[in-house]
Chains A and B, each alone.
Chain A
Amino acid sequence: MRNKFITTLSVFLLLVSFLVPHVDAATYASNQIDSGWVVAQISSNGRVAVEFEINGTGRMSKIGASYIVLYEKYSNNWREAGTITSSDRPSMYTTQAFSHCDTVYFSYVPGRQYYAVVTVFATDAQGTDYRTYTTNVI
């Protein structure tokens, strides 16, 4: 009985954890990056919209996202459903700015689950720093 309860509680907590977006824990104080956030949602025109923002520690020579990978759940497995790089979409980054925000769209199959991993960066005279943000599952 006790074991069943613990198992049920563990499954419940695992499911709850999937509802909340998270960011990778293996990050460190940064000389270039102050903060950032990510959002994934289904837009009204039936696409997956991935929105991100990154804030630099000052005016950055280049700031934004270098690539975004969309994952979809297919046959109980997560697989890559699409990738967009800053080469494909130059509006994913900007120059001489304190921060940058952009929304990127992917095609969507109704009934499937999705999440995205966004790699952001900021560059100044001291160098470049990167972070990886993971969206919520939609």
Chain B
Amino acid sequence: MAVDYKFLRDLNNSQLEELLRHTLEEDVSNIEYINYILEVLENREKENPINNLSDVHKAWEDFQNIYNGPECEKSSLYDFPVNKPQEAADHQYDKRGRLPLKRIVLIAIIVCLCISMGASALGYNIFQTIASWTQDMFSFSYTQPNIPPSSDSIIQDTKQAFESLHKALDANSITEVQSPTWIPENFEQIEVIMVSHLASKEIQAYYSFENRTIQISITQFNETYSSQYEKDENPVEEFDVNGITHYIFTNNERSVGTWNLNSIECSIRGDITLEELKQIIKSMY
């Protein structure tokens, strides 16, 4: 016996959708009934195309293919609680359908943390050194994350002399940079010392010729620090050697070169020309 479903036309869209949902949960075999509901909804959509209802036949086909497979037998389409996701969704968007500011900030923080953790895992540390300069100064700022308390009873204010810069670097297992194989003519080594303090271990090599000096510093920091170099109005030149950017500038009559290798800061300062400075740097790799 044919069933008359005309009464469905008297129901509004919400009621029809609810009936459709209920039918799909309880008795998907009543295809005629389901089709009728879908047709009513589709006709209303055609008459008033505000709602974006897709083609009823295609929708039914999709339902059969995607949701009504053998593995879905005896399973409800709505196993999850219906109300809670809706409540959550209400909070996810503001009245204009956009994410609220708090959620944007939270997402930004999470993204930053993910990037920083990923970078650390790959051997990069985005918290590390920032080089900056003005007309009057050049500075490195190094931020060391997760710093444990320093044991000042173990490392404090020790000074050790070495025969050469090469031996000092070897003794400290510093391989990122080497002792220069070239120094301007007539300059002679005065002394090489290693000074250990609470937050740093520094190797200093001094060379001189008459009243001119060259100082090479290689400092290993285990703390957040800031260093400053004096400079005059001449511009900073970025000098790349071995894939590392060396910052070259002048402090009145003196030439200064500085660069950073993770937590190791190196500098060469001396009464030499910029070309001589560059040649020393090149000989350190």
Contacts and interface: CB of A to CB of B under 8 A. Distances in A.
7 contacts: A4-B101, A28-B232, A35-B258, A44-B152, A103-B156, A103-B199, A133-B228
B130 A51 contact: no
A37 B213 CA distance: 21
Interface string B78-117: 0000000000000000000010010011000000000000
Contact of A41 (B219, B223, B228, B256): B223
Question: Interface on chain A toward B: helix, strand, loop, or mixed SS?
Answer: strand
Contact of A21 (B224, B229, B258): B224
A23 B143 contact: no
Given A22-B226, A30-B252, A55-B215, A35 B206 contact: no
A33 interface: yes
A101 B202 contact: yes
A35 B101 contact: no
A20 interface: yes
Contact of A39 (B223, B229, B230): B223
Given A55-B215, A133-B226, 19 more contacts: A19-B224, A21-B225, A22-B139, A23-B137, A28-B136, A29-B232, A34-B229, A35-B229, A35-B269, A37-B219, A38-B225, A45-B152, A47-B152, A51-B223, A57-B251, A59-B213, A98-B206, A99-B204, A103-B157
B179 interface: no
B147 A35 contact: no
Nearest to B250: A29
Contacts of A8: 101, 105
Interface residues of B, number: 53
Interface of B: 98, 101, 104-105, 130, 134, 136-137, 139, 141, 143, 147, 149-153, 156-157, 195, 197-200, 202, 204, 206, 211, 213, 215, 217, 219, 221, 223-233, 250-252, 254, 256, 258, 267, 269, 271
Contact of B230 (A5, A30, A45, A47): A30
B161 to A, nearest CB: 14
B199 to A, nearest CB: 4
B228 A37 contact: yes
B224 to A, nearest CB: 5
B230 A21 contact: no
List 9 tightest A-B contacts by C-beta distance, closest first.
Answer: A21-B226, A37-B227, A29-B232, A39-B199, A23-B228, A43-B152, A30-B230, A35-B229, A44-B149
Contact of B254 (A5, A34, A45, A101): A34
A43 B198 contact: yes
B221 to A, nearest CB: 7
A49 B150 contact: yes
B199 A41 contact: yes
B228 A44 contact: no
Nearest to B258: A35
B252 A39 contact: no
A15 interface: no
Given A29-B232, A36-B227, A98-B206, A44 B150 contact: yes
A101 to B, nearest CB: 6
Given A5-B101, A20-B143, A21-B226, A27 B137 contact: yes
B211 to A, nearest CB: 8
A131 interface: yes
B262 to A, nearest CB: 16
A25 interface: yes
Contacts of A41: 147, 149-150, 198-199, 223-224
Contacts of B211: 58
Contacts of A131: 228, 230
